């Protein structure tokens, strides 16, 4: 989940690395550090806290840092796993003689016995991290070839890694390697830049190479030599990034999260562009790479995902069963491979991941592939590991999502799942008339979302009224049940309020004991099937003196007198209601967090991409 940046070229190395770290800070912000080779010395500065703290320390310790051009350097922003977020545990780590510096993402599972052996051999460790083991191993194996030393060290470790290494011994060279943790190489002119995410690269080049597991690359300013861990040359294609650096800027918004909430009309429009097959009243999803006969033979779907993506998958469960008549289940991806899942013939596995690098979801992909399943992924990041290893699927085309709390990825994931269900349904039992209704509503989605965004000031006023709450329950039924879970997740992620999502019928099976006048209820009471029962649930909450904030369909008077406050949602069917309604809940969470003065884009203890188990 941490961020890695490395640079070799003629620009100011420190400026380039700091710029990259700032663009990757959403991947970890417990501590940060930088190391450069300069004037026959390996220099390192690191600091607890955010990248701004590191920049201040660099200014104090390297007063001429604005003149440090032509150096080779690496940098890191950390999300702590092994060891607390302290100065000593921050990356880069160096060997005892300060000849090698290393930054590492991932987890070295066998670090304890390796560390013990190295300590017995005289190595002195300065941190509590598993990562420091690697730099001592590289120093131990070095005999004049930094590539071979790195390869030999990596052969000794078990676990996952994305690493970048620089050395006094070969000052114009950087070594990068990956296994289970992403590394991408930006191909420049008289310079090359590496990172754990393309967000750090697009300001310099849009030509990139995505490394595969067990690739090791020797990078200079003029060359990129990629081999496998056994020193055999491998070929990796150069890809193009389809978004510019402007897409990863705030562009006048106070926070990335707010910008990304307001980007959703365009993001959803991009997700559906070219995919509405009006002639056949279906969807065009060529990335699934399945012919009509293969699709017709699917008799079971398993969706594997985590967090927000899992909530999107739960909505997909309704779509596939209602529209296509296919039995569907949603699996928490972390449990998928450990519970020895049953993969029958004609089972379609759909992994969902915004980043395409989520460790648990990637493990589910590999387990499903090993069991012979057909895998079709839903990802946002082009060239990501899950997308490449699945070999088929659907990209969201939502653009970069920088805010840690996912917003536009969720709405685009649910939109794509609806299109998949439409396509599968039209190949089975769905009539043209039913398909046309879905197609028409999908086409209207961007405008429906814009209508919700126009109520932002009204949502803000309601949110600020309840900003002092300490506990909150979200309840929903049917298609809005997963939205209740997602709404609660958004609120807890960025405001640190204890929020829980429940199926409305579950409220009386325990949680109702916690209701009182200080515990608000957010009740999703849109005018879709299940509304009458939801009104009954609202009355149960009001009887316990809990204030109720309801979502309701514009023009529906049935909620009047039942709710204390209402977030109005435009008229739409149950199929698109989840996509439209969640936007109001995203705004609600944002404005609550803003009123409380929380760090919205970088909430405590969280990181954007969970690349460790």
Q: What CATH number corresponds to the domain at position 156?
A: 3.60.20.10
* Domain boundaries, position 388: 253-449
Q: Is the domain of 383 the same as that of 524?
A: no
CA-to-CA distance for 17 and 232, rounded, in angstroms?
Answer: 30
User: DSSP label at 159?
Assistant: B
* Position 174 in a domain: yes
Q: Is the domain of 236 the same as that of 318?
A: no
* Position 114 in a domain: yes
CB 365 within 8 A of CB 389: yes
Q: Is the domain of 422 the same as that of 500?
A: no
Count up the domains in the chain and report the number.
3
Residue 528 sits in a domain whose CATH number is 3.40.50.10490
Summary count for the chain: helices (H), strands (E): 18, 27
* Position 331 in a domain: yes
Q: Is the domain of 213 the same as that of 269?
A: no
CA-to-CA distance for 72 and 10, rounded, in angstroms?
Answer: 9
* Position 512 in a domain: yes
Residue 29 has what pLDDT? 73
pLDDT, mean of residues 111-140: 94
* Position 608 in a domain: no
Q: Which residues contact 574 (CB under 8 A, 6 or more apart)?
A: 478, 479, 528, 529
Q: Which of 242, 269, 298 is the last residue of a domain?
A: 242
Q: Which of 201, 218, 242 is the last residue of a domain?
A: 242
Q: Which two tokens stand for residue 425?
A: 């349904």
Long-range contacts of range 431-440, CB-CB < 8 Å, 24 or more positions apart? Answer: 432/281, 434/323, 435/281, 435/282, 436/281, 437/573, 438/323, 438/575, 439/276, 439/278, 439/281
The rounded percent of the chain whose pLDDT value lies above 70 is 97
* Position 248 in a domain: no
Q: Is the domain of 414 the same as that of 561?
A: no
Q: Which residues contact 493 (CB under 8 A, 6 or more apart)?
A: 404, 405, 589, 603, 606
User: How many Cβ atoms from other residues are within 10 Å of residue 243's Cβ?
Assistant: 16
* Position 137 in a domain: yes
* Position 612 in a domain: no
CB 513 within 8 A of CB 540: no
Q: Is the domain of 528 the same as that of 563?
A: yes
70-105: burial string, b at 16+ Cβ within 10 Å, e else: ebbbbbbbbbbbebeebebbbbbbbbeeebbbbbbb
**Active-site residue set:** 2, 608
Residue range 395-405, pLDDT digits in tens: 999 988 888 89
Q: In what order do the strands lie in the sheet with 191-195?
A: 41-48, 31-38, 72-78, 3-9, 191-195, 184-187, 207-210, 239-240
The rounded percent of the chain whose pLDDT value lies above 90 is 72
Q: Is the domain of 425 the same as that of 277?
A: yes
Q: Residue 74 pLDDT > 60, yes or no? A: yes
Instruction: Give the end-to-end CA distance of the chain in Å, rounded to a whole number.
Output: 10
Residue 385 has what pLDDT? 86
Residue range 545-574, pLDDT digits in tens: 999 999 999 999 888 889 999 999 999 999
User: How many Cβ atoms from other residues are within 10 Å of residue 447's Cβ?
Assistant: 11
Q: Is the domain of 436 the same as that of 473?
A: no
Q: Is the domain of 224 the same as that of 87?
A: yes
CB 33 within 8 A of CB 90: yes
Q: Residue 2 pLDDT > 90, yes or no? A: no
Q: Is the domain of 355 the same as that of 445?
A: yes
Q: Which two tokens stand for residue 490?
A: 């958004």
Q: Which residues contact 458 (CB under 8 A, 6 or more apart)?
A: 567, 568
Whether the full predicted model's pTM is greater than 0.75, yes or no, is: yes
290: helix, strand or coil: coil
Q: Which residues contact 337 (CB under 8 A, 6 or more apart)?
A: 363, 364, 366, 367
Element (H, E) at 104: strand 100-105
Residue 404 CA to chain centroid, in angstroms?
7
Q: Is the domain of 94 the same as that of 206?
A: yes
Q: Is the domain of 148 the same as that of 21?
A: yes
Mean pLDDT in the chain? 92
Q: How confident is the model at residue 144 (pLDDT cuts 50, 70, 90)?
A: very high
Q: Residue 340 pLDDT > 60, yes or no? A: yes
Range list of β-strands (E), 124-190? 161-167, 174-179, 184-187
Question: To 5 degrees, how large is the angle CA 133–CA 137–CA 142?
Answer: 155
Q: Which two tokens stand for residue 184?
A: 């991408």
User: How many Cβ atoms from other residues are within 10 Å of residue 61's Cβ?
Assistant: 12
Q: How confident is the model at residue 135 (pLDDT cuts 50, 70, 90)?
A: very high
Q: Which of 400, 429, 449 is the last residue of a domain?
A: 449
Q: Residue 609 pLDDT > 70, yes or no? A: no
Q: Which residues contact 388 (CB under 8 A, 6 or more apart)?
A: 210, 212
């Amino acid at each position: 989940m941490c961020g890695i940046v490395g640079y070799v070229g003629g620009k100011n190395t420190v400026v380039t690395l700091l710029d990259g770290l700032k663009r990757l800070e959403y991947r970890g912000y417990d501590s940060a550090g930088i190391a450069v080779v300069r004037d026959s010395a390996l220099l390192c500065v690191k600091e607890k806290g955010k990248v701004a703290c590191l920049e201040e320390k660099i200014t104090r310790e390297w007063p001429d840092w604005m003149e440090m051009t032509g150096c080779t350097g690496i940098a890191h922003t950390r999300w702590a796993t092994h060891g607390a977020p302290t100065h000593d545990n921050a990356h880069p780590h160096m060997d005892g003689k300060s000849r090698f510096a290393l930054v590492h993402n991932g987890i070295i599972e066998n670090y304890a016995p390796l560390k013990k052996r190295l300590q017995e051999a005289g190595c002195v460790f300065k941190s509590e991290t598993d990562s420091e083991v690697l730099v001592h191993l590289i120093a131990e194996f070095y005999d004049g070839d930094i590539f071979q030393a790195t390869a030999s060290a990596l052969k000794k470790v078990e676990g996952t890694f994305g690493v970048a290494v620089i050395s006094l011994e070969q000052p114009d060279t950087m070594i990068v390697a990956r296994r289970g943790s992403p590394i991408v190489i930006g191909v420049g002119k008289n310079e090359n830049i590496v990172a754990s995410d393309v967000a750090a690269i697009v300001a310099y080049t849009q030509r990139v190479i995505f490394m595969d597991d067990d690739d090791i690359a020797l990078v200079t300013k003029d060359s990129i030599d990629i081999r496998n861990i056994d020193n055999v040359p491998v070929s990796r294609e150069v890809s193009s990034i389809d978004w510019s650096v402007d897409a990863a800027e705030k562009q006048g918004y106070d926070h990335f999260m707010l910008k990304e909430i307001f980007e959703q009309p365009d993001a959803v429009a991009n997700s559906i562009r070219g995919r509405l097959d009006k002639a056949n009243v279906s969807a065009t999803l060529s990335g699934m790479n399945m012919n009509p006969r293969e699709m017709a033979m699917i008799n079971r779907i398993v969706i594997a995902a985590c967090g927000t993506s899992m909530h999107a998958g739960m909505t997909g469960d309704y779509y596939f069963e209602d529209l296509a008549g296919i039995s569907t289940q949603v699996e928490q991806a972390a449990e998928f491979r450990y519970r020895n899942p049953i993969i029958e013939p004609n089972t379609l596995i759909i992994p969902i991941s915004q980043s395409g690098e989520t460790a648990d979801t990637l493990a589910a992909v590999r387990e499903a592939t090993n069991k012979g399943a057909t895998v079709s992924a839903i990802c946002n990041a082009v060239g990501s590991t899950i997308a490449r290893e699945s070999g088929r699927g659907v990209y969201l085309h939502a653009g970069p999502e920088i805010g840690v709390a996912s917003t536009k990825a969720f709405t685009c994931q649910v939109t794509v799942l609806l299109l998949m269900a439409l396509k599968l349904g039209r190949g089975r039992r769905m009539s043209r008339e039913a398909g046309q209704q879905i197609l028409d509503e999908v086409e209207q989605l961007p405008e429906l979302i814009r209508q919700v965004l126009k109520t932002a000031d009204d949502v803000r006023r309601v949110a600020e009224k309840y900003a002092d709450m300490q506990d909150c329950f979200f309840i929903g039924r049917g298609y809005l049940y997963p939205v209740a879970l997602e709404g609660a997740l958004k609120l807890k992620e960025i405001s640190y309020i204890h929020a829980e999502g429940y199926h409305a019928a579950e409220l009386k099976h325990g949680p109702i004991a916690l209701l009182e006048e200080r515990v608000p209820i957010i009740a999703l009471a849109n005018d879709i099937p299940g509304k009458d029962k939801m009104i009954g649930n609202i009355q149960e909450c009001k009887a316990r003196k809990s204030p109720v904030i309801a979502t309701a369909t514009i023009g529906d008077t049935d909620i009047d007198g039942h709710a204390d406050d209402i977030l109005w949602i435009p008229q739409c069917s149950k199929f698109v209601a989840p996509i439209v309604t969640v936007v109001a809940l995203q705004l609600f969470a944002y404005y609550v967090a803003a009123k409380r003065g929380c760090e919205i884009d970088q909430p405590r203890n969280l990181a954007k991409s969970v690349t460790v188990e």
